Each structure stands twice: as C-alpha cells, then as structure tokens.
A and B are shown apart, each in its own frame.
Chain A
Amino acid sequence: MSSLPETDEDAQWMLRVKRGGSDAPEALARLVERWKQPVVHFLFRSLPDAEEAEDLALIVFTQLWKSAARYQISARFSTFLFTIARNLCLNELRRRARHPAVSLDESHGDDETHPFRQIEDARQVSADELMQRGELVSKINEALAALPEKQRTAIVLCRDTDLSYEEIAEILGTSVPATKSLIHRGREVLRIRLKPYLKTGEWNSPPSD
C-alpha cells in the first residue's frame, strides 16, 4: 500500500530531531526518506502539479524541523507530519485563490522534454486511446480539485495512505464519524460529476472549491 506503516522508530527519530544534537540532521534525513513519498503524493493530489508538490514537500520537511520543539511523544508522528503538510497546502491554495495565475508548466503533458507523468504504461495503447485517457484523467482531477478541501483531503488520505480513520480525523480536526461522512459525501459528488462524462462525454465544469 501507499505510505509506510508508522513505527515507534519514527517517534524516536523525531525526538532526536527535537533534541537538536549532532545526530539531528541524520534523524531528519531518515524521516524524509521514509515519508517523502506519501507526503509528495498527498501534495500532488491536492495541488496538483508535480513540481510544485516537490517544492512544497521541501517546505513541509523544513517546517517539520522548525516545529520539532512542539512535537510530543504522545502524538503520532504521521499525524504531526500530515497536519503540517495540510496546513501548508491550504496556505498555498488560498494564495492561489487570491492571486490566480496561469501556470506556464501546464503544457508539460505534450512536451517531449517533460514527459506526461500521468500515463503509466503506453506501450500497447494507441494514440487515440492515450488522448482519451489523458482527457479522462484531467476530468477526474478537475472533479477532485473542485471538492471542498476537507472532503478531498479525507478521500486522498483514506485512499492513498495507511492512516487510520482516527488519524485522518485528528489531521482534519473532526470526529471519526464526521470524517467517514466527509469521505462518503465527497465520493458521492465525484460519482455524480463523472457519470455524465463517462456515459455521453458531456462535461459540466464543476464550481471551484
């Protein structure tokens, strides 16, 4: 599955970072190595731009270092880390909403120097199918991006990480039943939005979040 299962080891490494001794950088490097994939993936699902997700992941781990003093051993490391990631992601989305700009990187999919990361295996797929699939993926992304932030975050954390419902609820600052409700409603909205496109190719741009 996606993110690595959290162990006591993570908390131990984080405590070393918190103590700030000579082995703190090494401890931080270990944590980055263990958690970079789920964090980058989570940020990519929320933004979604691979390069910006990488840049933001760098900021997330730097912030982890700065916030180490606030880490309590009683808190799970994954919850601590993803709370930082979510907050920074929210800031970025708010900044974008305030200063909307057209990204020059959006055409990466067609650019030979920036291969389309979205396509997994194009070996036995015709160009037509490839195009259709690319379009479908962009519609799914659009529908996901249009969801309210809490619903999207709950769906992504639930589906793409090994976090429990309790941990997701803690990150979102809600209860477990509320988290399940967020996932249920979010998935229902996705189904409703994507259904006409899948049946007839009809697409109504969803209202942005």
Chain B
Amino acid sequence: MKPRPKPGVEPAAWRESVWKGRRGPGNPTSAAPSAASVDAGQNFGTLTSEQQVELEAELALDGLLGMLPIAVAPTNLAARVLDEVAREDRTTRTHGPSWLARLASRWTIRAGLRPLGIGLALVLAVVGVISQRSLEKRLLMAREVAEVATIPGVDALRNFDAISALSADARLHPSDVELMAAMGPVNH
C-alpha cells in the first residue's frame, strides 16, 4: 500500500500523494480502494471543502486507473534478450562492418588524419607557388603593354608636325647608303 501523508500535511502534498497511486505491476493483486471508501478528511488532514471535492475526484480517478489491466512480463524475457544479443553479435561477426563503417571508424580517422593533413598542406603549397608565378607573369605582361601604349596614336600621324618629326628621326645608317649604292645598277 502507498504510504499516506499524516494529518496536517501541506495542501500540495496530498495531491502528489494521490498521483503516486496505490497499486502497480509489482503488486497486481491488490485492488484499488474505491473513492467512497476513503475518508478524505481523515487521511489527508484538514482540507477546505473545495480541496476535499478535488481530492475525492482525484481518488475516483485513481480508482479508475487502478482498474486498468496489468501486463505481466514473460518469465523468459531475459533468455530471449540474450538470444537476440547473441544473434546480433553473430550477424555482425559474419558480415563484418561495411567498408563505409570501417572508413568512418575512429581508428581509421585517427590513423588517416596525419597523412591527410600533410597531403593537404603540400597541395596547398604547390597551388600557392603556381598562382604566385602566374600572377608575376601577368604583372610583367601588363607592364609591357603599358610601355607600348606610350607610342603616339593614329591621330598624331595626321598632324604634320608630328610626321615631320618622325621623318627627321628616320636617318639612314652609312652602311645602308653603301648597300643601296651597290645595289643601284641591279635595281635599274
């Protein structure tokens, strides 16, 4: 039987005491007492009329819950559990863990972590060097293109002074004059 609170208990305690019930699967034969058989005021100390009504309702519900069937656990459950565990163990041993499980196993991760890290660092270093060289090459090309851009544009050639300046710069080398003189009869 469930222990009852002594008279004069805290109001909240009687409710929680009723919630705990009087019967369980460990004691399936004891019938739950009906609400009518319980003198609420006597068992739970001095209660207000409102509390007494609530207590009686709680006890009535407890009586109803006490009518619910009891499931008796099978006597061979432990043996069945051990059989099941042994069967699962055998299955695991026969088939072994899947390659994915092995890959994901802690041992594999620990063992593979260092080479994986080193490999990753090497790849990153190589990629870094290649990109640096590529960047340098691009900068050089850009610089060369910038130098070519300083030549006067086509518009500048329309300017007579500019053309004259270009002609003045175009002086023939003495060796060229000699060569042209030597080739003179052939050309004619």
Which A positions have Cβ atoms within 8 angstroms of B? 1-4, 25, 28-29, 32-33, 36-41, 43-45, 48, 50, 53-54, 57-58, 61-62, 65-66, 117-120, 133, 136-137, 140-141, 144, 155, 158-161, 165, 180, 183-184, 187, 190-191, 194
**What are the nearest 6 A-B pairs in CB distance?**
A2-B24, A44-B71, A118-B69, A41-B25, A159-B21, A40-B73
Which of A28, A187, A191 is the one whose CB lies under 8 Å from B19?
A: A187
Asked whether A54 and B82 contact (CB < 8 A) given A41-B24, A45-B68, A187-B61, the answer is: no
Q: Is the CB of B77 within 8 A of A58?
A: yes
Other 9 A-B pairs with CB < 8 A, given A45-B68, A57-B73? A2-B26, A25-B82, A25-B85, A39-B73, A40-B72, A44-B71, A66-B88, A140-B67, A190-B61
Minimum C-beta distance from A59 to chain B (A): 8
Partner of A41, one of B19, B31, B67, B71: B71
Any A CB within 8 A of the CB of B29: yes
A65 CA to B64 CA in the complex, in Å?
Answer: 36
The answer on a CB contact under 8 Å between B77 and A137 is no
In the complex, the chain A residue whose C-beta lies closest to that of B15 is A184
Flag if B81 contacts A28 (CB, 8 Å): yes
Q: Which residues of A contact B31 (CB under 8 A)?
A: 120
Residue B70 at the chain A interface, CB threshold 8 Å = yes
Number of B interface residues at 8 Å Cβ cutoff, please give it.
Answer: 38
User: A184: which B residues are within 8 A, CB to CB?
Assistant: 15
Q: Please indicate the chain B residues that have their CB under 8 angstroms from the CB of A161 in the complex.
A: 24
Question: Please, how many angstroms separate the alpha-carbon atoms of A39 and B25 in the complex?
Answer: 10
Query: Which residues of chain B from 71 to 128 have a CB within 8 Å of any chain A CB?
Result: 71-74, 77-82, 84-86, 88
**What are 5 residue pairs bridging A and B, where the CB atoms are less than 8 Å apart in the complex?**
A2-B25, A28-B82, A37-B73, A53-B71, A159-B24
Please indicate which of the listed interface residues B26, B57, B67, B81 has the most CB atoms of chain A within 10 Å of its own CB: B81
A61 with B61: CB separation less than 8 A: no
Known: A29-B82, A58-B81. A3 touches B26 (CB 8 A): yes
Query: With an 8 A cutoff between CB atoms, is B27 at the interface?
Result: yes
B69 and chain A: residue at smallest CB distance = A118
Chain B residues near A62: list those with CB within 8 A.
81, 84-85, 88
B28, CB-defined interface residue at 8 Å: yes
Q: Which residues of A contact B147 (CB under 8 A)?
A: none
B-chain residues with CB within 8 Å of residue A133 when the two chains form the complex: 67
With known contacts A40-B73, A133-B67, A191-B57, A58–B80 Cβ distance under 8 A? yes
B16 within 8 A of A: yes
Contact A1 B82, CB 8 Å, known A190-B61, A191-B57: no
B65 within 8 A of A: yes
Q: Which of B15, B67, B73, B86 has the most CB of A within 10 A?
A: B73
